[in-house]
Structure 1
C-alpha cells in the first residue's frame, strides 16, 4: 500500500509541512524574523518547525538563512561600541560578526520582493537557537513540536562560514540541552555535516538536501561522485549516495528551475519515481521541495513521496485535506502571543 506523504509549505518567511507517515504533522519554517512568524505556525496548528543556523565569530548559534547579512533583509542601527571598525554590519558575513553586533540589526522593517503580503515587524532581531527553543517551549509546554534544523555552511568557500566541526559540535550541544533533543531532524546541503553528526550521535535523524547546483559537485556531497554509484538512473544514484552517508531522509528539489524547451510552462523533473523507489528500498524517506503546482504534488503523492514543500501553505493545506490528510490541532493563540511578548523583551 502506498504510504501517505508529508506535505510541506515553504516560503521566505514560512514553510508549513503536513506529514502523514504515521499520522499528519505540520511544519513551519521562517528563514528570518523567526520567532515572530513562528507564532503563525503554532497558532495554525504546526507540529514541526524548520530553521537554518549560522555560527557567529564568537561561536554563538543563530537562526538565520544566509551566510551573510543582506541589505534587502536587515538595516543597521548603531554600532556595539563607538568607532567599531566592523560597522556597518550589513553586508558582512555572519562568521565575521559577534552575536552582540548581529543583534543590533533591525531585520523586520523591509518587505521582501515577491512577498507583497508580508507583514513588517520593525526592530525584529536575529535570535539564537537557544532563544528560539526557549520561546517555543513556553508556547509548547508539552514539547510536542518537531524540528528540522539546517547547518548553513558553504562547502565551496570554507572561509565564508564556520567549519564542519564547529557547526556540528555547537549545534549538537544546544540540541542535547534542549527538551526537544529527540525531536530534531538535522539537515544540510553539505553532507560532511551529516556524516559528522551521525558520528557524534548515531541516533539523530539526518536529511540530505540536494539540487541541480550540488548534484555534480563532490564538495557538497562529502567527496562522493554520483557516477561511482550503480544507478542506473541519476535519481537512483542520488538515493544510493545519500544512503552511503547514512542519511535517513533524502530531500531533493522537485524540479529544475530551467523551463523545459518543449513547454516553457513545464519544469524538468529532478525528483523522479525511480529516486523515490530506490530511497524507499534503502529505508529512507523522500521529501522534495519546492512544489508550487498541485499537478506535481499529485504526481509526487502517486509516487509515494514522504514530503512536499511549497511556497503556498494555504493552498497545500486545502489540497492535503482533499487527499484525506489530517491537520494538526492548533496551539492556543493567547498563550503563543504571550510567550512571544516575553521572548521579544529578551532578544
Structure 2
C-alpha cells in the first residue's frame, strides 16, 4: 500500500511541476533569488578573508556563506579547514619568542591561539583550481565578529543574509572543539549581532543543527549532505547524520530519504552536493546524481527549501533550476547573479565599490592597530 501511495504521489508531483514551472514559482516571490557567495566567492578571491567578503558584496550576492572554527583560547574564526594548509597560508613569524608550536602551518585550528593564527599570511597563495583568484598578500584569518563589523560598515541597513557553517568532524572529535562549544560560542556572537535573524546555521555534522535548534528554535538550520557523509561502505549509521540512518525512512529513492531525514531533525533547508554521485557500493546505477528532482519535490512537500552546493557550471545550474531549487551556493556569485537576473528573478543589489573598499580600508587600519 505504501508503495502504491508513493506512486500516486509521484504522478501528482509531476503534474504539478509541469503545470507550474519553476520560473513562475520564483518570479512570484518578492525576495531576491538566493545567490550565496561560497567562502565569499573563492573563484574570485582568496577564500574566507575579509577581502573575499568585500568582493561578495560588490558582486551582489544575496547571502555570504562562510565557515567557523574555534581556536584553543575559544575564539570563533572564519576558516574552512580544521588545520592550516600549506596551499593556502604562509608562516610569517612566531606569536612570541621561542614559541614551541611554531611553525603554525600544518597545525590544527583547535590547537592554536588567536594570536598565533593572526600571524599567518593567508592571502599570498592562489589555488591552482581557481586560477582567477585575486591575491591579497598579508590577508589574515578573521574572527566572525570582525567579519560582522566590516559588513555592517558596508551594509548599515542589514540587508545581507548569512549562511554560517560549523566546521566540526564527528569522525575525528579530537581535531576540533566540541558540539557544545561550537553551538554556544557561535550563538553568543549571533545573538549579539544586528544580523541575528538574518543567519542560517549549516553543518554536515547534524548534531550541531539539533543542538542549535534546541538552543534557538527560531534560527533557520541547513542540513548539508554529500556522498561522504550520507553513506558508509558497510551500511552502518553515518556519524554525520545525528544518529539517523537513511534506510529507516520510507521514501522509494535515496534523495527522498535524505529530505525526510533532514525534516526529522527540524531542518529548514536541505543543502546537498549538486555535482556529487551516489557511491557504487550503495547503488548499481552508473553515476546516479545525489541531487535529483525527486529529492527537491519531496523536500518541498515536507516544507524544506533546497539550496545545493557548490555550483559553478551553468549547465548543471540550469538543470537544478528546472528541478525547482531555492538557491545556489557558488564560488562565482557575480556570474550566478547574472544568470538569475536572466531568468527573470529579483536579485540582491550590488554594493558600491567605493563604499565597500572604503570600509575595507578602515577595517584593515583597525586590525593593523
Give the aligned partner of residue 115 of structure 2: 100
Q: Is the 8 A contact 1:52 1:64 kept in 2?
A: yes
Q: Check if 1:169 corresponds to 2:184.
A: yes
The CA deviation at 1:267 is 5.6
Match of 1:77 among 82, 86, 92: 92
2:126 is paired with a residue of what secondary structure?
Answer: coil
Q: Is the 8 A contact 2:246 2:258 kept in 1?
A: yes
The CA deviation at 1:309 is 3.0
In structure 2, do the counterparts of structure 1 residues 6 and 182 end up closer, same or farther at CA, with 3 Å as the change threshold?
Answer: farther
Deviations 1:68-102 (A, max 9, x none): 00011111111111111110011000000000000
Distance in 1, Cα, partners of 2:123 & 2:248: 46
Written as runs of structure 1 = structure 2, the 5 A alignment for 1:130-279 is 130-217=145-232, 218-256=238-276, 268-279=288-299
Give the aligned partner of residue 235 of structure 2: none
Distance in 1, Cα, partners of 2:148 & 2:114: 17
TM-score when normalising by structure 1:
0.89
Distance in 1, Cα, partners of 2:357 & 2:312: 30
For structure 2, the residue ranges without an aligned partner over 5 or more in a row are 1-19, 41-46, 233-237, 281-285
Distance in 2, Cα, partners of 1:59 & 1:293: 38
Distance in 2, Cα, partners of 1:167 & 1:267: 35
In structure 2, do the counterparts of structure 1 residues 221 and 116 end up closer, same or farther at CA, with 3 Å as the change threshold?
Answer: same
Q: Is the 8 A contact 1:75 1:105 kept in 2?
A: yes
If each structure's helix is expressed as a fraction of its own residues, which one has the higher value?
A: 2
The CA deviation at 1:29 is 3.0
CA RMSD of aligned residues (A): 2.2
In structure 2, do the counterparts of structure 1 residues 320 and 47 end up closer, same or farther at CA, with 3 Å as the change threshold?
Answer: closer
Give the aligned partner of residue 309 of structure 1: 329
Q: In the comparison of the two structures, how many residue pairs are matched? A: 330
2:276 is paired with a residue of what secondary structure?
Answer: strand
TM-score when normalising by structure 2:
0.84
Give the aligned partner of residue 50 of structure 1: 65
